[in-house]
Amino acid sequence: MPQIEFFFDLSSPWTRLAFENIQPIAQETGATLVWRPFLVGGVFNAVNETVYQMRADMESPRYRNSWVWLKEWASLANVPMNFPSAFHPLKSVAAMRCCCVLEDQQADLFRFTNAAFEAYFGDQRNLDDTDVLISVADSAGFDGRALVAKSQEQETKNRLRAHTDEAIERGAFGSPTLFLDGSRMYFGNDQLPLVRQALLQG
């Protein structure tokens, strides 16, 4: 059975779309999805600082049109996208550490990730606020305070750092980054048709 590793950061709107759009592809092709939390800011700092240059010029045609295309993609995927918000760009390290706590139980990680995406991109809630993280976790059926406490342990911090370093070493430069069967790399929501094609071709 083919495997899709899905490296993601909750702060990325394109990742929010890809998170939804990859699921029917995996179901159609019989692929196993493995959710892999990492810190996209760490990736940018290491290998893709041009992202910050683009954000600095908010009047550039690329930057302005990216929001138009984002909402068109969201409409196509039937995903609510109330974005950007006052909390963009999001400092996502706390939320991504919560994801790392849940990673070994993939169904739990999926449930929390889905709730967090809805909170940030649907309700414009600040995932860098501890109380918001606790509330989001509680709403998804977890003990939010216990989850946040666990996320602050050194072991969890080390795991997020290790995942980020691994993604960089494997060639990632943004979120989402997908690997098919450990090797073939794809990036972004718009490359998902290529992922589907590769899976169908075996």
pLDDT band of residue 2 (cuts 50, 70, 90) is very high
**Calpha distance 198→195 (Å, rounded):** 5
Which pLDDT score is estimated for 57? 58
Q: What is the number of other CB atoms lying within 10 angstroms of the CB of residue 38?
A: 27
Q: Cβ distance 167 to 148 under 8 Å?
A: no
Q: Report the sign of the C-alpha dihedral through residues 139, 103, 49, 69, in that order.
A: negative
Which pLDDT score is estimated for 11? 97
Q: What is the number of other CB atoms lying within 10 angstroms of the CB of residue 159?
A: 20
**Calpha distance 11→101 (Å, rounded):** 18
The mean per-residue pLDDT over the stretch 151-158 comes to: 98
Which pLDDT score is estimated for 59? 66
Q: How many domains does the chain have?
A: 1
Tokens representing 134?
């606790």
**Calpha distance 52→44 (Å, rounded):** 8
What would the pLDDT profile of 167-191 be if each residue is shown by its tens digit?
999 999 999 999 999 999 999 999 9
Half-sphere exposure of 85 (CA within 13 A, CB side): 18
Residue 81's domain comprises: 3-201
DSSP structure class, residue 152: T
Tokens representing 70?
């984002």
Q: Cβ distance 188 to 15 under 8 Å?
A: no
Q: Residue 118's closest CA among 142, 94, 135?
A: 135
Which pLDDT score is estimated for 25? 98
pLDDT band of residue 202 (cuts 50, 70, 90) is confident
Residue 30 pLDDT greater than 90, yes or no: yes
Q: Residue 168's closest CA among 10, 18, 44, 6?
A: 44
| Weakest mean pLDDT among 28-32, 87-91, 152-156 | 87-91
What is the average pLDDT score of the chain? Answer: 93
Residue 199 pLDDT greater than 80, yes or no: yes
What would the pLDDT profile of 43-52 be if each residue is shown by its tens digit?
989 886 665 4
- How many angstroms separate the Cα of 89 from the Cα of each of 51, 57, 135? 11, 14, 21
Q: What is the CA radius of gyration of the chain?
A: 16
What would the pLDDT profile of 56-107 be if each residue is shown by its tens digit?
555 667 667 888 899 999 999 999 999 889 999 999 999 999 999 999 999 9
Higher pLDDT, 119 or 56: 119
Q: Report the sign of the C-alpha dihedral through residues 145, 148, 154, 158, in that order.
A: positive
**Calpha distance 130→8 (Å, rounded):** 20
**Calpha distance 37→133 (Å, rounded):** 16
Q: What is the pTM of this model?
A: 0.92
What CATH code is carried by the domain that includes residue 169?
A: 3.40.30.10
Which pLDDT score is estimated for 71? 92
Residue 55 pLDDT greater than 60, yes or no: no
The mean per-residue pLDDT over the stretch 118-142 comes to: 98
